């Protein structure tokens, strides 16, 4: 069931501009698959789906593609410029606030940069927790984040 559902999710996001989990849930229901929000959220995470900007200025679910580092950097810069509203930190933890619904896409863009100082990110709807390996590395990571926002 899970494999079928996830394959259907991939088909749906390729064929339609799905902007929210609710829209994705409705599309699955139209295909005869009922799913809870929690299951759908896990599926999105397991599939590695991200939100990308559309020409209309909205965001839709997509699969990340293999890209060169300059493409990855350019996407991260675009995501940060369009979505990040604030950055703050304490010890080795950084909190990035974003516009509603864009945190997962911003976190994915940050993860794609593969900074060795960053252990990982956790994204909600409008905030991201960045875990830095050592608190002595926080300043370097913050400088990188601020550069992405310019």
The DSSP string of 12-45 is HHHHS---SHHHHHHHHHHTT----HHHHHHHHH
pLDDT, tens digit, 9 for 90 and up, residues 71-100: 677 778 888 888 899 999 999 999 999 988
How much of the chain exceeds pLDDT 90, in percent?
Answer: 47
DSSP H or E stretch at residue 61? strand 59-62
CATH number of 2-62: 1.10.10.10
* pLDDT score of 20: 94
Q: Do domains 2-62 and 69-149 have the same CATH topology?
A: no
Q: How confident is the model at residue 67 (pLDDT cuts 50, 70, 90)?
A: low
Q: In this model, does residue 12 exceed pLDDT 80?
A: yes
Q: Model's pTM, two decimal places?
A: 0.57
Q: Which CATH class is domain 69-149?
A: alpha beta
Q: How is the chain split into domains, by residue range?
A: 2-62, 69-149
Q: Which residue has the higher pLDDT, 65 or 27?
A: 27
Give the whole-angstrom CA distance, residue 91 versus residue 28.
42
Label residue 134 exposed, middle or buried (CB < 10 Å: 0-12, 13-18, 19+).
exposed
Q: How confident is the model at residue 111 (pLDDT cuts 50, 70, 90)?
A: confident
* pLDDT score of 26: 96
């Amino acid at each position: 069931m899970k494999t079928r559902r996830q394959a259907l999710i991939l088909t749906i996001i390729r064929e339609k501009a799905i902007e929210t989990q609710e829209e994705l849930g409705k599309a699955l229901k139209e295909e005869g698959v009922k799913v809870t929000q929690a299951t759908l959220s896990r599926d999105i995470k397991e599939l590695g789906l991200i939100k990308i900007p559309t020409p209309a200025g909205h965001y839709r679910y997509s699969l990340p593609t293999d890209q060169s580092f300059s493409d990855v950097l350019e996407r991260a810069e675009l995501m940060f410029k369009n979505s990040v509203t604030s950055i703050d930190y304490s010890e080795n933890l950084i909190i990035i606030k974003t516009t509603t619904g864009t945190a997962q896409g911003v976190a994915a863009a940050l993860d794609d940069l593969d900074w060795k100082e960053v252990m990982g990110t956790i994204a909600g709807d409008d905030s991201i927790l960045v875990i830095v390996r050592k608190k002595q590395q926080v300043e370097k990571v913050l400088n990188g984040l601020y550069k992405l926002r310019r």
